[in-house]
Structure 1
Amino acid sequence: MSRTVVITGLGATTPLGGDVASTWQGLLEGRSGVHALTEDWAEQLPTRFAARVVTEPTEVVPRHEARRMDRASQLAVVAGLEAWADAGFGLGEENDLDRERLAVSIGTGIGGLHSLLENWDVMKERGVRRVSPFTIPMLMANAPASQIGLRIGAKAGVHTPVSACASSNEALAQGLTIVRDGRADVCVVGGTEGVVHPLPIAAFGQMQALSRRNDEPERASRPWDVDRDGFVLGEGAVVLVLETLEHATARGAKIYGTLAGAGISADSHDIVQPDPTGTGQASAMARALADAQLSAGDIAHVNAHATSTPQGDITEAGSIRKALGENNHAIVTGTKSMTGHLLGAAGALESLATVLALRHRQVPPTINLENPEPDLGIDIAANTARSLPEGDLAALNNSFGFGGPNVAIAFTNANVTGA
């Protein structure tokens, strides 16, 4: 049995805002969430800026609970609880929600890095007995999904896709399958990442992957611009609530849109670099279209992976043309220009932006695009938001990761209510 899967709740804590409304407003305004790092440790690094969340999670999560969670879990709980409430659910047994029919899938690319490194420092400096007994449940990759699952009482499964920067879009794909196949009526999906720390910044820097535009960090993330020099590390979490159309309609839920399909592929090319032919990326998009029963001509918008890396942006432009056709009419944007790259949470954030773009018929801009690469062959929403036409709309969101995973998610504005 295949069932229609709709989005009924959204939650976010990002470099643009502490909730969905402020994040969406920041995206439409073309506001940068990238700022200089002020810690002493940043002085030794070649990149001294990042995109941090606006609202510290401890402003939302009680401190006694936050102390037993890594930053990745704290961020996930903030976004998860907003999405759960937005969907109209409570934390108790109200709403007649069968918890045996409730699942969770939250992706992360790196997981509880802060807890690992902090407790290693504690052990070196103060001895074994000072290591927190919560270290393992804080650092394990499935902790964010589990922390959300514990709070909402999910009993149909709690899952954690780990596919580098494609992790949270893979979580959406998994949630789609779980609900569509009848294993759950509701699935909470998304991603989280909280690794703004000297070690990952240094490590990405050693790979020559990060921008070094320290004199103007707000202009550092510039997808498709000829002067781009790498991505900007970001942090945050975004969560979406998926459920069957039948279940949502029966309880009178607000519906943001439809998660219509997902496509997954692998480059099998390199542990870091994308396949320059873009074949795997195009395959993921084509598979998403087929899964959603859409044609290339149906796609009005693509929220691209667009990390602001020299090779990656060129490859993706080619893969979009390959998947949608040289004469496609899709408006393309790269919202990492504003948010930085949230790694394992990037796909969820950009899926949220895609859902809201369809709902409000507004595509957020790609900022800092001053000198576009020649001959890209795609229609980019450069520096200002663009309007989408009236009528039925469909869009794609792309996420690609180290190791070669490619995930494309297809959304439509079918079944929208309360717009």
Structure 2
Amino acid sequence: MSPALPAGDPVPADGALPATAAVGSAERDLGIYLHVPFCRVRCGYCDFNTYTATELGGGASQAAYADTARREIDLAAGVLARAGVAERPVSTVFVGGGTPTLLPAADLATMLDHVRATWGLAPGAEVTTEANPDSVTPASLEELACAGFTRVSFGMQSAVPHVLATLDRTHDPERLPDVVRWAREAGLAVSVDLIYGTPGESAADWRTSLEAAVDLEPDHVSAYALGIEPGTKMGAQVRRGELPMPDDDDAAAKYEVADDVLTAAGLSWYEVSNFARTPQDACRHNLAYWRGADWWGIGPGAHSHVGGVRWWNVKHPRAYAHRLEQGQSPGAGQELLDDDARELERIMLGVRLAEGLELAPGTGRVPERHRRAVAELIAEGLVEMPPARQGRIALTRRGRLLADAVVRALTP
């Protein structure tokens, strides 16, 4: 089961935003996240807000989901307009889940068409969908490309059957070259997601997965350390002693192998867990998160952020659909970030980027309150200061392994 939503203040029934959300909005990009909460099988490690057909029961139809999402898009447009948030074409759209491609490609196209009709898409907009390798066909990928999708992110996770079995992944790893080829033929850019540190995964297994990913010649690779989350099947297996808890040293060693293999293949890190073939291949939607842009999350459990206001929707698809049918916001809670909270988030997210963190934006200086901490971090080999970027720090490879420690050193 996915984790509980955070505590927060009530969201107004009409979803209204405070006037402060509009301040500076014309200078910020706007992204749209579309959450599709359906999966054929729940993976044992997953704590995302997803549901199988048996978990949903009645009242939450996959067939009606595109129309339900369109209702929230309409609500979003009204809320932003009434708040005075600048009208802007959407820079990025990301369809995640769950398994978005469990829905017919026509439904995903319907949702994208409604985003386009509501706000417009900026020239060169990035439009991504996640997909499982066993949930696409040449025809469905072609239909997505014709609808305006530019990019697909495949949940590869591993190339080793016993690792996939431990993760409860259902696809055949030998299918990956086919689905990547189909995506290329449709004109879509390709990203693959990998997970390392699965119980029972050897160093040789991880290298096999990396080499298989490289052989696909993707534009982008995400490599995430497995986290064991409470409430998941895998969490219960670890608690009962059926699986070992992932080891931090093993994860660090595997990250270094990933960095070596992916870098040698021409993929450069631009965020701690993400590698791109060129700067243009970096995921612009995720960069918008890390840079504090505006985004509206459509769907049950989806999170949004506009101008320092953060809110999140009710989790269950039935409750989500019911609220929208009643003409009400599906928001479950919200928080207004004060200056200290916004600065903390800027540091926490910005420090993870290869472009480096600007310690005092616009000044080119290291603030007095950070000087000692930065000196110590440099001495410990965790950060460096690029000569051409005064006032910025960037993580070293060792720093990438200890990014949380860097954040702690830079915050009170």
Q: TM-score scaled to structure 2, two decimals?
A: 0.30
Greater C-alpha radius of gyration: 2
Q: Which has the higher contact order (CA 8 A, sep 6+)?
A: 1
Q: TM-score scaled to structure 1, two decimals?
A: 0.30
